[in-house]
Structure 1
């Protein structure tokens, strides 16, 4: 029952905001596959030291394996999650996903991703709506194929963020320290 309520809340969040945040047109799932580092969030409440996504197609579905290291009370804790993605049956595709998250404790949650902008080889700007501590959170994340961007790419990302009335100054950076990312 709780999953049904959360799914309905996420659908409500998505229904209200979906129209406001466009998804990348002619989205190329296969070019999006591979390793992504989560680099910035504008609504992140916990201290994250390393967050790596490995995105791969699997039997007509697409999966993200999400590995992360989080710091709680000055202790590193590792996390592994499987995000199973589904997307509307439309052609051409847009960068629009519904996600079922299977976490370490085998609990499930559902949320929505929109790939607002990507060049597939350097960066992706992701809008998402998810449930955290019984609250719906709307967030924007910036992912990269590497843990840093060139100066030219930062300028491009700032221009894209301005279309969302956002600025990189308001985002929290995830520092991918060598201690936290040893396994990735």
Structure 2
């Protein structure tokens, strides 16, 4: 049986056999096939970590750990229940998981993202700068270590950093004016222990 060889590379390398070339592809193929096995059914969250370490340990419902949280900061849990949010917003809101609350119609929503105090301080200036570009009005607050709220006619955002953690609140389709969003965001922030 004739042996097939690949043509030599221009660099003067020795010719490789077809079998050797196929063997080089095999590890890549196995990696592609086995890679998703280390993820959950959503395909994005590791379910097993290094030797005996559960990668999901310590996770809560607010999302994955960030580098600052892994470096020793503590991420607080979601500060609200659906009943509290409904009360604070003055309209029925449903818990949609991961500290996301919606009106059930796909219109009004409140999202709260939590992180450690350390992570919040690391991103505060950038968030504040971006808020200045996205919202009609940005107001610095005297609450916690650092805080601000930002609003426009259809949305609002507030950030609170305290010794208990960092909270970013994003509010959408709750009102129709800047002043209304500011009042609502202040009520929400006041309900978070600083």
Same fold (TM over 0.5): no
| Structure having the larger proportion of residues in strand | 1
| Structure having the larger proportion of residues in helix | 2
RCO higher in structure (CA 8 A, sep ≥6): 1
> TM range, normalised to the smaller chain?
under 0.3
In our comparison, the structure showing a higher alpha carbon Rg is: 2
